Structure 1
Amino acid sequence: MKSIGVVRKVDELGRIVMPIELRRALDIAIKDSMEFFIDGDKIVLKKYQPEGVCLMTGEITSENHEYGNGQITLSAEGAELLLKELQEALQK
């Protein structure tokens, strides 16, 4: 695990402030939901992504498909967008 050299105190309501640099680096916006996990004596925070949401469009439908051993979910439109982006990147 990598330290970013920032220490924050927990306030009386149990809140901690996440530094803006960290939120920007991880694309966490105001009002985004965060998911909590426990790993031994560590607390792990992860930006919440509901299951079945297209990685490219944010669309949630029963027609979305999982790829990469379930690591990537794409709608038909999202798959086309990703394919186009990959083809453009390979042509450079």
Structure 2
Amino acid sequence: MKSTGVVRKVDELGRIVIPIELRRVMEIEIKDAIEIFVDDDKIIFQKYMAQNACAITGEITNENKTYGDGKFVLSPKGAEILLRELEEAK
């Protein structure tokens, strides 16, 4: 696990503010869902990704397809974006 050096206090309602720098790095936008896990004495926050949501666009459509033995989901638009970026990287 990587330390960020950021320390925040819990307010009287149990809230914690996630610093803007971390939200930018993790691409967490206003109203994004955050999934919470507990591992022994650790609380882990992760940006929630709905099942069958495109890894690139976040879209959930009937046209989404799963790749890499079910580890990667792409919508048609997401596949197009990824393909274009791969072509540009050549």
Partner of 2:61: 61
Provide the TM-score with structure 2 as the length reference: 0.87
Letter in 2 for 1:58: G
**How far apart are 1:20 and its partner, in Å?**
0.9
Cα distance in 1 for residues equivalent to 2:18 and 2:77: 34
- Structure 1: which 4+ aligned runs deviate by more than 3 Å? none
- Does 2:88 match 1:88? yes
Cα displacement (A) at 1:39: 1.0
Task: Name the amino acid aligned to 1:56.
Answer: I
Please tell me the residue identity of whatever aligns with 1:73.
V
Gaps of 5+ in 2: none
- With normalisation by structure 1, the TM-score equals 0.86
Q: CA RMSD in A?
A: 1.4
**Contiguous gaps of at least 5 residues in structure 1:** none
Distance in 2 between residues matched to 1:29 and 1:21, nearest whole Å:
12
Moved more, 79-88 or 54-63: 54-63
Give, in whole Å, the separation in 1 of the partners of 2:78 and 2:24: 24
> Given residue 55 of structure 1, which amino acid in structure 2 is its aligned partner?
A
TM alignment of 1:1-92, pairs within 5 A: 1-90=1-90
Q: How many residues align?
A: 90
Percent identity between the two aligned chains: 62
